[in-house]
Chain A
Amino acid sequence: MSTPEKPASNLQKEFLWPLIAPLILIVTYVGFYSRFLFCAKDGGACSPVSAETILGAIKNPSDVAIYVARASWTFAGGLYLLACIVALYTAVLVMNEVFSNFGSKSPWQPILIIMFVALDVALVMSLWASKDISSPAQQLLRATVGQGVPEINKYSRLFDAISLTATLTLACAASAILFQRDSKLEKEELRRRQTLLRYVLYVGGALLAIAVLQLSTRLGWGASYLPAGSGITPSVNSLVTGILNSMGSFYALLMAAVYVPAALVLQSRVKQLAAREAPDDPNTWLTTNGFSLSFSQYLPRIVALLGPMLAGPIGELLIRTSKAISGTIL
């Protein structure tokens, strides 16, 4: 049984999927966000807890709790920045590897253009999101951390812009992995591209998981100003959990939107190759050449995809543990 070979023109278009799928996801998210949550125009009425209410509830904040939360944020922030740099470096390496193989004399030129396009898109997104001054997260940080560090929300937007730049560059790298001029790729070339795509998945998954962890510590820093007995504290904590869960789910979907289409396209190419190489028994060819994946090989990929979703609860656990430790030691 042989799979019919696709014409070269179709294969050329497939490489855009790892870029189109996350963009569709982002546009959908932005559409829903601006429709239901964006609250700059109504003066913050859509946020259940206003900055004034939060600030009014802060009485004799615990210096130890704030110190521990700030230390956690500093650690997570450093890790986040490092993850962004690693992700950008990986994306550049992957694209360089792919473009060099095409015989391109100067692969750095398209790579630089791609990176700056990603940076511009991310900065424009951050500028757009900065208009939502009444969102619960911004109000929480403004009323708490912002009293000492007024630029906290600006720093957060910059961090997010760097992270989105790295994610978009990784999506471009995944697209580059699928890009090909001729319709037939050799076995080793396909294997090499699958390995490169795996790097994109692991680095991207780790980046987005750390992004959620950093968000968790950032909001935890704000929430640490509120006294435990205050009536507003459970409401704020529940808002923080909601934000973390929604962002974790969005990041997990984003990573899936980058990886899954690329993995499916590569898998389809592998099957085409198998059909060409062993038309009678392509499945055996796939197994003997190491293209069939076992459950243990799938597991790390699944963990990487779900990482951002799991990072929120892990971040909260980290904050709770550090609070417990500081309560014991200090």
Chain B
Amino acid sequence: MKLLWFLVPLLVLIGIGWFTLWKLWSAAEPTVQKPVEPTPIQLVATRELESFTKLKRADLKLSSGTPESAGPSVPTVEELEGRYLLVKVDDGGEVKREMVAPREASPLLSDAVAVGIQPTSLTSIGGQLQVGDIVDVVPSGTNQSREPFENVMVLKVVNDAKAGDKGSGIPVGITLAIPRASRDRFAAAAANAGIVVTRKILVAN
């Protein structure tokens, strides 16, 4: 009888303990999911695009979302349509504004030839020349016509990667798009005495 007074409470306690332990262990543990970072909306190429491709509507699309949801930093298809791409873009690669020539350059490129010039401080505007710039090229020789070649587009500027910040800033190669009709006159001017490249200074009033 005395043993019963001990065993019954003990068994009850063991039962309570077992039940509580089971409840404790079987309780569902909440899971946590890594928050998905929103992918930025980009304007991308629908196919591989070579340099100087004239962009068509079908060449471009938004990576996700709608034009309304894209921020002002993302160019629209309408904005870039009909303009020339300055660099090669892979299929699905992002197309940014600075990778496309200005709209006013389109007629200049439609019947142009590419020509390389000697990179100097005078032809690179002191190292300021950039791809996509619309410049004027002025022949600097004494015994030739001084008639400038106006609205010439800069196709490529190759900088000295090895020199980095320690270099003079003068590129190692410059390619311009010259109208086909002016090709021979430009070749003569460049061969005779040299040329000076000028660019209009944009000032904010």
Contact = CB atoms under 8 A, between A and B. Distances in A.
Interface of A: 51-53, 55-56, 106, 109, 112-113, 116-117, 119-120, 123-124, 126-127, 130, 133, 139, 142-143, 146, 150-151, 153-154, 157-158, 161
Nearest to B9: A113
A117 B37 CA distance: 50
A109 B24 contact: no
B24 A116 contact: no
A160 to B, nearest CB: 11
Given A113-B9, A142-B29, A120 B24 contact: no
17 contacts: A52-B33, A55-B34, A106-B6, A116-B10, A116-B17, A117-B13, A119-B17, A123-B21, A133-B29, A133-B30, A142-B29, A142-B31, A143-B32, A151-B29, A153-B29, A154-B27, A158-B24
A157 B10 contact: no
Interface size class of B (residues with CB under 8 A): 20 to 34
Contact of A154 (B24, B32, B35): B24
Given A117-B13, A120-B20, A154 B6 contact: no
Nearest to A133: B30
Given A51-B32, A151-B29, 18 more contacts: A52-B35, A55-B32, A55-B35, A106-B6, A112-B10, A116-B17, A120-B20, A124-B20, A127-B20, A127-B24, A127-B27, A142-B30, A142-B31, A142-B32, A146-B29, A146-B32, A150-B29, A158-B24
Interface centre among B6, B14, B20, B35 (most CB of A within 10 A): B20
Interface centre among B14, B27, B29, B32 (most CB of A within 10 A): B32
Contacts of B17: 116, 119-120, 123
Contacts of A123: 17, 20-21, 24
Contacts, number: 66
Q: Classify the secondary structure of B's interface with A.
A: helix
Interface in B36-55: 37
A61 to B, nearest CB: 13
A113 B24 contact: no
In the A-B complex, the 3 residue pairs with the smallest Cβ-Cβ separation, listed nearest first, are A116-B13, A123-B20, A51-B32
A190 to B, nearest CB: 31
Given A142-B32, A151-B29, A113 B6 contact: yes
Contacts of B33: 52, 55
Contact of A109 (B6, B14, B32, B37): B6
A142 B33 CA distance: 10
A197 B37 CA distance: 59
Contacts of A55: 32-35
A154 B31 CA distance: 13
